[in-house]
Amino acid sequence: MTSRPPLIFSAFNEFVLSHHDHGGWRRADSRQADLNSSTYWVDLAKTLERGKFDFLFFADVLAPYDLYRGNRDAAISTGMQTPVNDPAVLIPILAHETEHLGFVLTENILQEPPYTFARKLSTLDHLSGGRIAWNIVTSFLPGAGRNLGHSGLPSHEERYGRAEDYVTAVYKLWEASWEDDAVIADRERGIYTDPTKVHTIDHVGPYYTVPGPHLTTPSPQRTPFLFNAAASGTGIGFAGKHAEVLFTTGGRQGAPASVAQLRAAAVEQGRAASDVKIFGGLGIVVGSTEAEARRLDAELRETQSLESMLVKFSGFWQEDLDRYPLTATVGELRESGAPGPITRQVLAGADPSITFEALVRAAANSHVTGTPEQIADEIDAWQDAGVDGINVQYLVSPGTFEDFVDHVRPVLVERGTMQADYRPGTVREKVTGGGPYLPERHPARRVRAELAAARAEVRR
Ligand SMILES: Cc1cc2nc3c(=O)[nH]c(=O)nc-3n(C[C@H](O)[C@H](O)[C@H](O)COP(=O)(O)O)c2cc1C
């Protein structure tokens, strides 16, 4: 039907019981309660690889959501993103059991020093044969800041200042420390690595000081494939400079404007508009007939916990939503002047006649429900809106992903909207069609060139 390239597909997940489903784990056909079993995740990764998904995306948080009612009880009782295990420990197991699937590891820049983080990612990139992506996040949970030794979350401005310094330090380690031909593995002379080709990076930034050198040999991609989700002006500036995958805001209707803004942010940083792949997010409920899909949707909504939704959106909208009466209408809340800026924005875009409860339930259930063809139509409409990829969100796992692979994928492949098979190479090569490393115009490669030039200058 079209000559445009297939979309990129990512399965949106977290090493948790419950990510955005708000209760799917309670169903008899859910395996989410097996979260501590590697078998559940290996089976899921194999299903995704069978369906030629590009990525299994692991979000991450480092504190229970605790804004709702000023405590963590509801997050813990409903299992909403707590418990949450460490995805960096799971990914090597999944990589060993798959051949092509990429893995997105979310790690917050406050979490560990850039030096150990860079080594960890290089190790993962080696072990997976170049299938690692890093989702760069600055966190939104005050509890995460406290758990990492800060008095709360550092200010938004400081977090992005730290992020810039952090990525610069890790770029230097990944790109500029070991030369391509440093390893000679000369058994006869007993020389494994030429020490003149392994360099310190001597990074001294406003927040981090890292002398180096990097501890591992250059991994297949050197710098892992880079994701970032931003919403603020500062965040979009950062994402435009660094990220290779970005996310739209504002749903499908808002996608054309959001895509234009994100591509412009990349161009402003001296990158090509096509250097950034932009993803929309989509939950799906699929049935062989529309009536069957609606039945399943109703069943899933039945298991959902409103409290779990309020916990999550208190975190996302950055205020305790318990302050708003569930039966008040959006119009009434607008008039009463909701104090939170994000909530105000959400209310401004909503139907004034619906209740606050209906607004929260709708926000938690922006998925599409229908036959495989109807879901494929929706995905095509996302592509028409300008996105390059879709982050598929589950309502029940692994059911949502199995339904997608078994029923929606064949329609998408038929239409040319989903790849029939993987391309060879690292995940960057598969997804961009380019080389294993970042393009030379990316700041990571510019750092590499700058450090090489400085070394040449010293030698002269
Ligand atoms: C698809 C997607 C995934 C995200 N995953 C995480 C995550 O795992 N951990 C996290 O702390 N923040 C996550 N975020 C939140 C973003 O990192 C960011 O805080 C948010 O989009 C606000 O952007 P801003 O920092 O520019 O205000 C995610 C956002 C999106 C859209």
Per-residue pLDDT reduced to its tens digit, 156-201 = 999 999 999 999 999 999 999 999 999 999 999 999 999 999 999 9
Residue closest via CA to ligand 1's atom 17 equals 137
| 359 Cα: distance to centroid of ligand 1 (angstroms) | 21
> Which pLDDT does position 460 carry in this prediction?
79
Does residue 225 fall inside a structural domain? yes
The Cα–Cα gap between 419 and 367 comes to 23
Ligand 1 binding pocket mutation candidate from 61, 137, 241, 342 (most atoms within 8 A of CB): 137
Ligand 1 pocket residue status of 140, Cβ below 6 Å: yes
Does residue 50 fall inside a structural domain? yes
Residue 422 burial (CB < 10 Å; 0-12/13-18/19+)?
A: middle
Residues 87 and 205 in one domain: yes
The ligand 1 atom nearest the CA atom of 233: 26
Ligand 1 pocket residue status of 305, Cβ below 6 Å: no
The Cα–Cα gap between 30 and 49 comes to 20
Give DSSP secondary structure letters for 158-204: HHHHHHHHHHHHHHIIIIISB-TT-EEEETTTTEEE-GGGB----EE
Last residue of a domain, one of 343, 364, 385: 364
Residue closest via CA to ligand 1's atom 2 equals 229
Residues 356 and 372 in one domain: no
> Which pLDDT does position 458 carry in this prediction?
84
Residues of the chain with pLDDT under 50: 1-2
Does residue 3 fall inside a structural domain? no
Residue where the block lists tokens 């879709």: 390
Residues 109 and 220 in one domain: yes
| 137 Cα: distance to centroid of ligand 1 (angstroms) | 6
The ligand 1 atom nearest the CA atom of 247: 31
- Exposure of 134 in the CB half-sphere (CA atoms within 13 A): 26
Q: How many CB atoms lie within 10 A of CB 156?
A: 13
Does residue 205 fall inside a structural domain? yes
| 253 Cα: distance to centroid of ligand 1 (angstroms) | 20
Residue where the block lists tokens 């002379």: 189
Residues 386 and 352 in one domain: no
Ligand 1 pocket residue status of 37, Cβ below 6 Å: no
Q: Is the alpha carbon torsion for 390, 238, 437, 426 positive or negative?
A: negative
Question: With the CA atoms of 405, 407, 409 and 413 taken in that order, what torsion angle do they form, in degrees rounded to the nearest 10?
Answer: 150
Does residue 1 fall inside a structural domain? no
* Cα dist from 99 to 57, 102, 103, whole Å: 16, 9, 11
Residues 221 and 332 in one domain: no
Residues 135 and 248 in one domain: yes
Q: What is the pLDDT of residues 210-233, one digit of tens each?
A: 999 999 999 999 999 999 999 999
Last residue of a domain, one of 321, 339, 364: 364
Residues 383 and 359 in one domain: no
Does residue 185 fall inside a structural domain? yes
Contact 75, 311 (CB under 8 A): yes
Number of domains in the chain: 2
Does residue 321 fall inside a structural domain? yes
Bond preceding residue 211 cis, omega within 30 of 0? no
Ligand 1 pocket residue status of 230, Cβ below 6 Å: yes
Residues 455 and 329 in one domain: no
Contact 355, 347 (CB under 8 A): no
The ligand 1 atom nearest the CA atom of 58: 8
Residues 107 and 220 in one domain: yes
Look at phi and psi of residue 378 and say left if phi exceeds 0, alpha if psi is from -120 to 50, else beta: alpha
Last residue of a domain, one of 317, 348, 364: 364
Ligand 1 pocket residue status of 280, Cβ below 6 Å: no
| 239 Cα: distance to centroid of ligand 1 (angstroms) | 11
Q: What does pTM read for this prediction?
A: 0.96
Residues 347 and 376 in one domain: no
Average of per-residue pLDDT values in the chain: 96
Does residue 165 fall inside a structural domain? yes
> Which pLDDT does position 1 carry in this prediction?
46
Q: Which domain holds residue 360?
A: 305-364
The ligand 1 atom nearest the CA atom of 236: 26
> Which pLDDT does position 247 carry in this prediction?
96
Q: What is the pLDDT of residues 306-365, one digit of tens each?
A: 999 999 999 999 999 999 999 999 999 999 987 789 999 999 999 999 999 999 999 999
Residues 158 and 108 in one domain: yes
Ligand 1 pocket residue status of 138, Cβ below 6 Å: yes
